[in-house]
Amino acid sequence: MSIKVVTMMEKLRSFIKREDGASAIEYALIAGLIAVVIIGGAQAIGLELSDIFKTIKETLSDARPSP
Whether the per-residue pLDDT at 61 is higher than 80: the answer is yes
Which carries the bigger pLDDT value, residue 2 or residue 47? Answer: 47
Most confident of 10-14, 32-36, 43-47: 32-36
Q: Residue 49's domain spans which residues?
A: 19-67
* Tens-digit pLDDT profile for residues 24-37: 888 899 999 999 99
Concatenated DSSP letters of 1-67: --HHHHHHHHHHHHHHH--HHHHHHHHHHHHHHHHHHHHHHHHHHHHHHHHHHHHHHHHHHH-----
Could you tell me if residue 11 is inside a domain?
no
Its pTM stands at 0.51
**Lowest-pLDDT choice from 15-24, 29-38, 41-50:** 15-24
| Overall number of domains in the chain | 1
Report which of residues 15 and 10 the model is more confident about: 10
